[in-house]
Amino acid sequence: MYIFSEYFSEFIKSYKPKTELPYFLEILKSIQINFDYNSFNKIVNHNGIDKITDIKTESLDFLISYADFILEDNVISDTEIQDFTFLKRIFKIKEGDFKKYKNLEMNEILKKEFIRIYSDNFVNQKEELLNLNLQSLFNLSYDEFEEIKEDEIIKSLIQGANPKDLDIAKLPKGFTLI
């Protein structure tokens, strides 16, 4: 059994799905606080869902909404990471699923965070940790993550940022240190 955080329960209460599918709302209600695989599987089977991956689109929409909710305070707590990771496990979300099925929505969330992180041309320790957590939430490889944040890094460099202050391993193509 897994017990979700109060923060997750708060999100569930306010969550408005794109489409109100009764079976998905029933599934969400079942995981609101305590999660038990047996109860969960009964609800899934009762609603004629053969495999949890059959509701991947709804699951990813839900996780995108939860990620947006988590980031309202510009921090991802350990508890939020735990809940999000457990949800990915429940819904059998694999590496590449966000990029493959919800790339636009994922990029929108990430770009919003990158604009905030890089707007002052300096990445502090909290923002470095946030970057790591964002990469983890969306199951992105290092190269995929670096590619998504590259535009904001370039803007910071053009504005005169010191590359050492930007939490980057290498300069984007076309930039050299003088």
* pLDDT single digits (tens) 16-34: 887 777 888 888 887 876 7
Give the Cα separation of 59 and 56 in Å (integer). Answer: 5
H helix intervals, the chain: 6-14, 22-30, 37-46, 56-70, 78-90, 97-101, 103-118, 125-137, 142-158
pLDDT band at 178 (very low <50, low <70, confident <90, very high): low
Q: Which of 74, 80, 88 is nearest to 120 (CA)?
A: 74
Higher pLDDT, 53 or 17: 53
The structural domains of the chain, with segments of one domain joined by +, span 1-93, 100-178
Given a cut of 80, is residue 157 above it in pLDDT?
Answer: yes
Given a cut of 80, is residue 90 above it in pLDDT?
Answer: yes
Beta carbons within 10 angstroms of residue 151's beta carbon: 14
What amino acid is encoded at 148 in this protein? I
| Global confidence as pTM | 0.90
Q: Does residue 60 contact residue 97 with C-beta atoms inside 8 Å?
A: yes
Dig out the tokens for 85 from the structure: 């990771």
pLDDT band at 172 (very low <50, low <70, confident <90, very high): confident
| 1-5, 87-91, 126-130, 156-160: least confidently modelled range | 1-5
Place of tokens 């991947």: 56
Q: Which of 50, 130, 66 is nearest to 98 (CA)?
A: 66
Q: Which of 104, 27, 100 is nearest to 62 (CA)?
A: 27
